[in-house]
Amino acid sequence: MATSSINWANARTAELPHMVVPAPGPKSIDYHTRCSKYFKGLSGQVKLFPVTFESGEGCLLRDVDGNEYIDFSSGIYVTTLGHCHPKISEAIAKHAKTLMNAHDFTTPIKTQLVEKLADILPGDLNGFQFYDSGTTAVEAGIRVLRAATGKNETISCFYDYHGKTYGAVSHGHIRSSVYGAVRAPGAHMVPRPDMYRPMWQKEDGSIDTDQYINFYREYIDKGTVHDVAGFVLEPIQGWGGTIMPPDDFFPKVRKLCDELGILLMADEVLTSWGRTGKWLCMEHYDTLPDIVTIGKGFGNGFPVTCVAVREPYKEAFEAISASSSYGGNPMACAAALASTEVIEEENLLEHAEHLGNIAQKRMEKMMAEHTIIGDVRAKGCLMGIELVKDRGTKEPFNEAGELVYKKAFAKGLAWIPAGHILRMSPPIVMNEETLLKGLDMIDAAIGETQKELMG
């Protein structure tokens, strides 16, 4: 395996964390106070730990007080190849100096990118359109779904997350009156298998995925007006807490879609481009979606996303007025192509899977030592730890989740909270030593929290 990106990304991680003042430090608090006077709608992670970041290099994040952190967030699943990767930064800079935007006219760099995507994506996913955010891509994907089928209704799942515009929100778990008193017409939601909290089980305790599929079939027959265009699903639910399905779930959903003549759309904004150790997470389940959204790590921090469509349906782009002001601009295409080339040339998909296996074993060791850990899971560099008050009742332990998050952050680990579920998405260029060091910090924070809250 080529290791140039791994060596670069971890050049200083042996020295991390390097905390010069208690975090968040005085300069961080000053900047945050000044900024938040005007800048509103902050995420929960910022509210819990209002640090002000100044720079990043590979797997290292630095705040304005000089504290240096191990990055277990990747800018919330975005900087998959580390902060300021030289090849990607240089590619963006080159096009920032030559041509920044030409609407949807063809450019050489766009041509190179679509040819590369057609080469590496599975099956006949060879129709593309580019956007500047995950939500925009999801909305476009849903429009393609409807245009390709001539139908309107959609099925998504409890605890899904697809974005924050009205159509995307209508397919997810966000509840807020500002999005409207009701979901968008035709948007239906159903349960999906959660291996830790199953709704239907077999006698041996394993998940009965057939019961879910039977329910979907019955719901589509009785709960819709028989105008279903398709399913819109996350392969692994990210915002929901890194919720992973059983291996047989998506093959059965694919079979159901084929049986009913409806399409399958995979929202892979979070899970694609190496995050789980594959180009697409759906490849883990040997399932080819008809439509897929790609984002976050696609441009390693530059705002670029993609809707990819199978051969029979790609002309549907023509029916939806698919172009956008920023989608596919030369800088965005350069960032996405450079990111793709780095992953491909350095065999980083395999490395991401390797890190996931190491993390799973380390987290299982934590679970054996801390009773407030109910479940742990990892697929590549997408990881989660579920905290509970009691393993028997599985009651969520939100207070512990917030405390563990703050304790580990103060120790020098930049990462993601999700209530009682701790989420981790380290860059896939992280080395084993840094990964284990970060997990050790979480282990210590969980131990301190359990002692503090449980005695």
Per DSSP, 203 falls in state T
* β-strand pairing of 228-233 with 263-268: parallel
Instruction: Tell me the CB-side half-sphere exposure of residue 178, using CA atoms within 13 A.
Output: 3
CB 337 within 8 A of CB 112: yes
Delimit the domains of the chain by residue range.
4-68+351-359+371-383+391-396+410-450, 86-345
Query: CB count, 10 Å around CB of 352?
Result: 25
User: Quick one: residue 152, left, alpha or beta (phi over 0 = left, psi -120 to 50 = alpha)?
Assistant: alpha
**What value does the mean pLDDT take over residues 56-69?**
98
Cα–Cα distance between 124 and 117 in angstroms, integer?
Answer: 11
Tens of pLDDT, residues 379-432: 999 999 999 999 999 999 999 999 999 999 999 999 998 789 999 999 999 999
Query: CB count, 10 Å around CB of 292?
Result: 29
This prediction has a pTM of: 0.95
pLDDT band at 1 (very low <50, low <70, confident <90, very high): very low
CB 158 within 8 A of CB 334: no
Tens of pLDDT, residues 101-155: 999 999 999 999 999 999 999 999 999 999 999 999 999 999 999 999 999 999 9
Fold of the domain spanning 4-68+351-359+371-383+391-396+410-450: Aspartate Aminotransferase, domain 1 (3.90.1150)
Q: Which of 362, 304, 312, 308 is nearest to 333 (CA)?
A: 304
Three-class SS of residue 100?
A: coil
Query: For position 3, what pLDDT does the model report?
Result: 66
Cα–Cα distance between 394 and 277 in angstroms, integer?
Answer: 30
Q: What is the CATH number of domain 86-345?
A: 3.40.640.10
